[in-house]
Amino acid sequence: MKSNLTPLGPKADKDTVRRSNLSLVLRAVRDEGEGEATRAGVAARVGLTRAAVSSLVEQLLETGFLTESGKTFSGQAGRPGTALKTARTGPAGLGVEVNIDYVSVCVVDLAGTGRVRLTEHLDNRGTPPAEVLARAAGIAARTLDSAREQELYPVGVALALPGLVSGGAVRQAPNLGWNQVPAEELFAAALTAEHPGHQELPVRSENEANLAALAELWFGGLERIRTFLYLTGEIGVGGALVIDGELLRGAHGFAGEIGHVVVDPNGPQCRCGSRGCLEQYAGQAALLRAAGVDEGGGLGVAELEKRVRAGDERAVGAVAEAGRMLGRVLSGAVNLLDPDAVVLGGIYRNLMPWLAGPADEELAGRVVSGLWAPGGGRLRASSVAGDAARGAAALVMTDVLADPVAYARPAMA
């Protein structure tokens, strides 16, 4: 969750300047990592005087956003500096991923560390949206209880949802059969019913691939890569594009629906209404079907992985063909968008040893710049940290980091 730190100019009023500078200091400590920040180091990073930073740090210590680790650094002029770190208690973010065959809920703290995780495998296809979101709210309520036991108090919820998401609603999610579903409203009502008497949490929503891409950006160890295409393989195939550290959303917020790029207009019927979409060749159901693996019981992906590791010819061939289809579609995206890397998540991550070669070959043969070389490191597996639920929870925390005054207990003002 790296950020550009720019102090406000003298024209801003005193309160606004202080609130902004508190944010600068808090984010600087968070970005330095556990126990590595000092007052002097933060001052150098954000461009404020040491005296100003010391005052801001004291306020963040008093209100519980920062703690002192006891570790000291003596390599600088003057007194040794005491190491600072973000607190492990206090405000937290709640992320809820609702997918076709599971619901996953995550709570993260100020550092973005996942502190609580609950996942339940549920077949949500054909189930009324209100019922699915009520199930998710029930799991979220249990997660909130666990968080509060650790003295974490979530200040908001972000929903990670499949399909076209905008304005608090799922406009279309073909694999769930959802159309024009007011997801935020339904989830908020269900969570209130699960936790009567508790403070209502603000709810926002975002496409699940977008949030997985943000988690990969913030926590996935992409080093200096700030422009990349992210693909997640589940029952559906989702995509997101990050450009210079920011999501490309498109004019209506629907950018990234790469799973519905047409591979063959005469191909199999897709749930979206078209034919021959990438999802019909490289989605989870298509992969399992081609490999001869029964999807029943939710164990199909684990069985597929087991078979490819054992060298089963049909399974290895199915994964290789999916890789080729991915490579063909991705080559068009790479030609159009010129990312530094393509990151494959979801079910593709564990299948990369068998998937990457065929995909790389297609990319190398079709990317017109000639910059794509098989095995060159531009096609990579996502990290274990790059998941939508964690990305959703961390998205909530961007508001806290931007204005800690608004989320302090007791209030800083």
Class of residue 196 by CB neighbours under 10 A (exposed 0-12, middle 13-18, buried 19+): exposed
Instruction: Give percent of the chain above pLDDT 70.
Output: 92
Look at residue 78 and tell me whether its pLDDT is greater than 60. Answer: no
Q: What is the pLDDT of residues 281-305, one digit of tens each?
A: 999 999 999 999 987 656 889 999 9
Tokens of 329: 């579609």
Dihedral, 133, 110, 207, 211 alpha carbons, nearest 10? -130
Sheet holding 152-161, edge to edge: 114-120, 103-108, 90-98, 152-161, 203-207
Longest Cα–Cα distance of the chain, Å, equals: 74
More reliable by pLDDT, 271 or 22: 22
Look at residue 11 and tell me whether its pLDDT is greater than 70. Answer: no
Q: What is the pLDDT of residues 18-29, one digit of tens each?
A: 999 999 999 999
C-alpha–C-alpha distance, residues 259 and 281, integer Å = 10
pLDDT, position 82: 82
Q: What is the pLDDT of residues 340-364, one digit of tens each?
A: 999 999 999 999 999 999 999 999 9
pLDDT, position 374: 85
Task: Place 96 in a pLDDT band, splitting at 50, 70 and 90.
Answer: very high
- Mean pLDDT is lowest, of 73-87, 123-137, 179-193, 278-292, for 73-87
Q: What is the pLDDT of residues 30-61, one digit of tens each?
A: 988 766 788 998 999 999 999 999 999 999 99
Averaged pLDDT for residues 81-85: 84
Task: Place 316 in a pLDDT band, splitting at 50, 70 and 90.
Answer: very high
pLDDT, position 335: 95
- Percentages (nearest 5) of helix, strand, coil residues in the chain: 45, 20, 35
Task: Place 412 in a pLDDT band, splitting at 50, 70 and 90.
Answer: very low
C-alpha–C-alpha distance, residues 47 and 274, integer Å = 54
pLDDT, position 65: 94
pLDDT, position 31: 87
- What is the β-pairing status of strands 81-86 and 66-73? antiparallel
Q: What is the pLDDT of residues 138-190, one digit of tens each?
A: 999 999 999 999 999 999 999 999 999 999 999 999 989 999 999 999 999 99
C-alpha–C-alpha distance, residues 81 and 39, integer Å = 7
pLDDT, position 413: 41
- What is the β-pairing status of strands 90-98 and 81-86? unpaired
C-alpha–C-alpha distance, residues 389 and 160, integer Å = 7
Residues written for the chain: 413
pLDDT, position 234: 86
Look at residue 376 and tell me whether its pLDDT is greater than 90. Answer: no
pLDDT, position 409: 72
CA distances for 243 relative to 134, 217, 225, 350, 380, angstroms: 35, 11, 10, 26, 17
Look at residue 387 and tell me whether its pLDDT is greater than 50. Answer: yes
Residues 6+ apart with CB under 8 A from 245: 2, 217, 226
Task: Place 73 in a pLDDT band, splitting at 50, 70 and 90.
Answer: low
Q: How far is CA 131 from the centre of its chain?
A: 25
The angle at the Cα of 64, spanning 63 to 65, to the nearest 5 degrees, equals: 100
